[in-house]
Structure 1
């Protein structure tokens, strides 16, 4: 009882204050959480190169940090610039040829009316559908602009935080590890899990996108689809989406080709995409990510679904990490608080 009135009570009050202040800080700064997660990701990927430059090659810390950040900016900006250069002319064409696009849409509607009479599509339903689309367009534009502004701000935040993380280096790591109320062996296990998961997803996901893009471009080119590179890039980007994945791109393409009357090409392309593109997507997701970081496929799938809702784009990395942490902390709990006989064989 005396313990509860002195040290125990003080400890409880202090923990409550720390928790309360932590919740307030996270709530008020939640807009910058993706930037913080991005900085952590880049730090884990770059720390070894930074230490090589500063320790082995004896570079100044600020110089090594600035060079690495510059290279990161270059690696991020170059593919974005290439994609924008490929897609921007298509958007300009769409704005300049709206009449042709509407005529093609009308052709598709006429084909559906003539070949699928059971759908009972009338002009009133079409008009209502167009009105709904027109109402959605401003919302989509606003959401896109907000997402772009958020991405730019969080990118700048990530590089700003990354600079100070690199400058602190091993001192920061030692301080953070010292704050964890765990045994040294469990601290090491937590660090290894973090490193494996971050490397697996941050390296594996771009590799998956590139492979998916190449396979899709080959298929679109073989079946005579116009602008196969553009559609291949969009297919590669869509491959990061869980469950739906590349289907969000190749199914509409196949439908349009089928409606135009190229039934053989449409069937062939559908089979290619369903058998090759979709299955390669699954094979790469369940093998490359596991081989790079020894991550279980189910952790990857469910982690991505969870992470996208919580953290946005950075959820592709930290969603699986959150699931892995949950499993690892259960094991660590048993190691920390169970008897020796119960612990044997846990890890």
Structure 2
């Protein structure tokens, strides 16, 4: 009895120490968390292909992992390059001509005030905006450095996760103190949610971005490619995401006196771009994982505040885990299960 009690005390102490050291390490690595979570995402997406190459085609583990890393580097590198190519010139213009931009905003604000009586930006707000534009350079440099560091860390971590994939999964299965059916449920739900959010949501965003770009091009929006790219980027946010971009575009066109095109963009964005989002979510996401829109909305809000951009994937996963763990709790500890 005494030996059993001492053994439990040891178990609790060791477990407490492990949790403490894990929390300390997590705090120290917090700025690199996007890279680590990105590696986990890519591992989940590519593990089946990797194991097929190694076990069926008899490739060497290092070679198979290197091929997958090369593929992801090309895809992600192309996306990053496209973003830099579209945003880079505008960012340089904003930095070098911040006073001119503020003058343009002031002019548009004045026109809106004359026509509608609504004052969008006060003088103090415009001065604050100019200060933020001036401080944008060091912030952009820090963000770029962090992005590159996390990108390299993601690829480095992914290589060793693939190389030691079987061993990692076996150890995780041993460490999780649940029944085998609940471990399987956890693994299945993780795979489903990550795939739906890592493939489905970017695919929906690309579709919306392309549709919005076509509308901007047809109705004479200046820098239509840039605004289309930004619309696709903000389409990650369900329901209101694209509005963050097309509403200012419509306001600018009205302010410049291009009333017909402004009205056309407004109608097109509500009827076409908005419905494309709805149709894509009820078809693509339902087929890939049947993720409830509310889970996505709450997950995006939570994920962005916790993990940054990669939180777009892991935020919904975190919300979904709450639901899964509730099911597992019932499976593990309900009276019916215990009787069985």
User: Structure 2-normalised TM-score?
Assistant: 0.90
2:59 is aligned with 1:69: no
Query: Does residue 160 of structure 2 align to residue 161 of structure 1?
Result: no
Determine the C-alpha separation between the residues in 1 that align with 2:337 and 2:16: 34
Unaligned segments of structure 2, at least 5 residues = none
Q: Which residue of 1 aligns with 2:254?
A: 258
Residue number in structure 2 paired with 1:310: 306
C-alpha RMSD of matched pairs (Å): 2.6
User: Is the contact between residue 335 and residue 343 of structure 1 (CA under 8 Å) also seen in structure 2?
Assistant: no
> Which residue is 2:31 aligned to?
31
- Deviation per CA, 1:247-291: give whole Å up to 9, x if none: 111111111111111222212211211222233224433542232
- 8 A Cα contact 2:95 2:133, kept in partner: no
Q: Distance in 2 between matches of 1:94 and 1:11?
A: 59
- SS of corresponding position for 2:220: coil
| CA deviation after TM superposition for structure 1 residue 70, in Å | 0.9
Match of residue 78 from structure 1: 78
Q: CA deviation at 1:142?
A: 3.1
CA-CA distance at 1:82 after TM superposition: 2.6
| Local SS of the residue matching 1:226 | coil
2:185 corresponds, among 186, 189, 203, to 189
Which residue in the other structure is 1:238 paired with?
A: 234
1:126-205 alignment, distance < 5 Å: 126=123, 128-205=124-201
Indicate the residue corresponding to 1:339 in structure 2: 335
CA distance in 2: counterparts of 1:284 and 1:186, whole angstroms? 31
CA distance in 1, matches of 2:93, 2:19: 54
Moved more, 277-286 or 239-248: 277-286
Q: Counterpart in 2 of 1:290? A: 286
The one of 215, 218, 225 equivalent to 1:219 is 215
How far 1:141 moved relative to its partner?
3.2
Aligned to 2:295: 299
Tell me the equivalent position of 2:47. 47
CA drift of 1:243 comes to: 5.0
Cα deviation, 1:128-166, whole Å, max 9, x if unaligned, reads 333212222244333332222222111111111111111
C-alpha distance after superposition, 1:79-107 (max 9, x if no partner)? 22233223334445566777865664454
Change (3 A) 1:38 1:281: same
Of the structure 1 ranges 88-97 and 254-263, higher mean CA displacement relative to structure 2 is found in 88-97
Map 1:258-277 to 2 at 5 A: 258-277=254-273
C-alpha distance in structure 1 between counterparts of 2:26 and 2:217, whole Å? 48
The CA distance in 1 between the partners of 2:7 and 2:189, in whole Å, is 34
- 8 Å Cα contact 1:286/1:297 also seen in 2: no
Q: Does 1:112 align with 2:112?
A: yes
Instruction: Map Cα deviations across residues 31-67 of structure 1 (whole Å, 9 max, x no partner).
Output: 2221111111111111111112111111111111111
The two structures have a TM-score, normalised by structure 1, of: 0.89
Q: In structure 2, do the counterparts of structure 1 residues 340 and 95 end up closer, same or farther at CA, with 3 Å as the change threshold? A: closer
Could you say what secondary structure the match of 1:214 adopts?
A: helix
Matched residue pairs, number? Answer: 340
Which segment drifts farther, 294-303 or 185-194?
A: 294-303
Match of 2:58 in 1: 58
SS in 2 for 1:244: coil
Distance in 2, matches of 1:78 and 1:101, equals 30
Determine the structure 2 residue equivalent to 1:247.
Answer: 243
**Alpha carbons 2:331, 2:337 under 8 Å: kept:** no
Q: How far apart in 1 are the matches of 2:83 and 2:17?
A: 48
Q: 1:14 to 1:224 in 2, by over 3 A?
A: same
The answer to whether residue 39 in structure 2 is matched with residue 15 in structure 1 is no
In structure 1, how many angstroms separate the alpha carbons of the residues matched to 2:157 and 2:297? 29
Cα deviation for residue 171 of structure 1 reads 1.8
